[in-house]
């Protein structure tokens, strides 16, 4: 537990760094860093897509005929190109109208998730990025401001150091051994098209690489559990400030919350742990947050139904709203770990949580 043998630590760190280096180097040639992201305009599928395919076919025919400058093939190719240009011009000039029609169709068809995702995309694209944060200008100075702000936020008080040496090796080797199947299931659960962390390992690296990497990851993660160690490169995260209230003061640092871009391999370990302890995570029926297939919309619906019921019965409704300031950032981890121990969690998972804070 929390191994002090530097040789063991060096071997584990070397193994982890070698795996990440292999994953990144094998896909480096396939990554096109200069490739621009294509954004499809609203109305493309309805007004342009079919004409564009026809234009491509007529172009192939025109090329096969030796690029003639007159005749039926040339005229057909020219007219097809003009139709595409006119269609593209139309969707550009009517972009707002077509976007509204597309949103209305998604809502009418019951595609709520796609509807709200599109709304979120529109709102984010309309939010300008400020050049000043709390009267601080310049990229270097703003970077220092964020570093200082987040450091103070996550170190608001001198937390007690959780004593990792209290764990004793009363568990079996089966409980700390991570199998190849567990690693494979965790990788399958990863979401694609996500930003990578500093190690430049994407979820796609793990999903599409050879299965021969699975035993190596299994041995490496098992070694982490046995020795109570995680590499510094895995624990490093990139903090990105996200605006809380877009209608508020976007130049105030208090109007931002940080999100952490963590290593994809740390997410694999988290998914393995979640798979093992899922049956222990029992929640109340009236909890709506941080639960699969639950959300705040359901909570709001239940709240409104209860209020309407009491109003229909001519009864008084007393409501209390509690909003704890920065509650998530101020969690006392020592108390949290003690509660995990009391609920019967295996020591290795509690110890892993200790390593992350």
pLDDT single digits (tens) 123-140: 666 567 788 888 888 888
The predicted-structure confidence for 172-198, as pLDDT tens digits, reads as follows: 556 678 899 999 999 999 988 887 777
Higher-scoring residue by pLDDT: 155, 319: 319
The predicted-structure confidence for 7-52, as pLDDT tens digits, reads as follows: 988 999 999 999 999 888 887 777 655 555 556 678 888 889 999 9
The predicted-structure confidence for 275-297, as pLDDT tens digits, reads as follows: 887 777 778 888 888 787 888 88
Please, what sign has the CA dihedral across residues 308, 310, 314, 318? negative
Q: What are phi and psi of 180, to 5 degrees?
A: -65, -40
Beta strands 256-261 and 238-243 are: antiparallel
Q: Are 141 and 132 in contact (CB under 8 A)?
A: no
For residue 16, which of 268, 200, 231 has the smallest C-alpha distance? 231
Burial letters 55-89, b for 16+ CB under 10 A, else e: beebeeebeeeeeeeeeebeebbeebbebbeebbe
Residue 132: which region, alpha, beta or left (left: phi > 0; alpha: psi -120 to 50)? beta
Lowest average pLDDT, out of 268-272, 314-318, 328-332, goes to: 328-332
Lowest average pLDDT, out of 67-81, 123-137, 329-343, goes to: 329-343
- Spatial CB neighbours of 304, under 8 Å, sequence gap ≥ 6: none
Per-residue pLDDT at 81 exceeds 80? yes
- Spatial CB neighbours of 133, under 8 Å, sequence gap ≥ 6: 142, 145, 146, 251, 252, 253
């Amino acid at each position: 537990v929390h191994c002090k043998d530097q040789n063991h630590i060096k071997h584990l760190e070397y193994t982890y760094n070698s795996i990440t280096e292999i994953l990144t180097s094998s896909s480096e040639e396939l990554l096109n860093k200069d490739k621009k992201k294509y954004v499809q305009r609203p109305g493309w599928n309805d007004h342009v897509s079919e004409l564009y395919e026809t234009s491509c076919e007529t172009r192939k025919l025109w090329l096969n005929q030796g690029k003639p400058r007159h005749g039926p093939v040339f005229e057909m190719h020219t007219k097809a190109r003009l139709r595409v240009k006119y269609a593209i011009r139309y969707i550009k000039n009517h972009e707002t109208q077509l976007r509204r029609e597309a949103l209305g169709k998604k809502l009418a068809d019951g595609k709520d998730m796609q509807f709200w995702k599109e709304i979120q995309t529109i709102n984010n694209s309309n939010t300008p990025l400020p050049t000043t944060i709390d009267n601080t200008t310049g990229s270097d100075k703003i970077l220092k401001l964020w570093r200082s702000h987040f450091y103070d936020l996550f170190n608001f008080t001198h937390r007690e150091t959780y004593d990792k040496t209290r764990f004793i090796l009363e568990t079996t080797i089966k409980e700390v051994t991570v199998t190849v199947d567990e690693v494979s299931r965790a990788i399958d659960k990863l979401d694609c098209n996500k930003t990578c962390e500093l190690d430049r390992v994407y979820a796609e690296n793990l999903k599409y690489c050879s299965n021969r990497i699975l035993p190596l990851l299994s041995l490496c993660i098992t070694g982490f559990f046995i020795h109570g160690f995680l590499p510094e490169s895995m624990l490093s995260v990139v903090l990105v400030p996200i605006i809380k209230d877009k209608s508020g003061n976007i130049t105030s640092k208090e109007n931002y919350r940080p999100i952490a871009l963590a290593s994809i391999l740390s997410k694999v370990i988290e998914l393995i742990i979640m798979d093992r302890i899922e049956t222990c995570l029992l929640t109340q029926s009236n909890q709506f947050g941080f639960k699969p297939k639950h959300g705040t919309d359901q909570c709001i619906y239940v709240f409104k139904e209860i209020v309407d019921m009491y109003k229909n019965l001519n009864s008084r409704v007393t409501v209390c709203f509690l909003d704890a300031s920065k509650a998530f950032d101020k969690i006392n981890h020592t108390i949290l770990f003690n509660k995990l121990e009391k609920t019967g969690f295996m020591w290795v998972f509690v110890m892993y949580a200790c390593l992350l804070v």
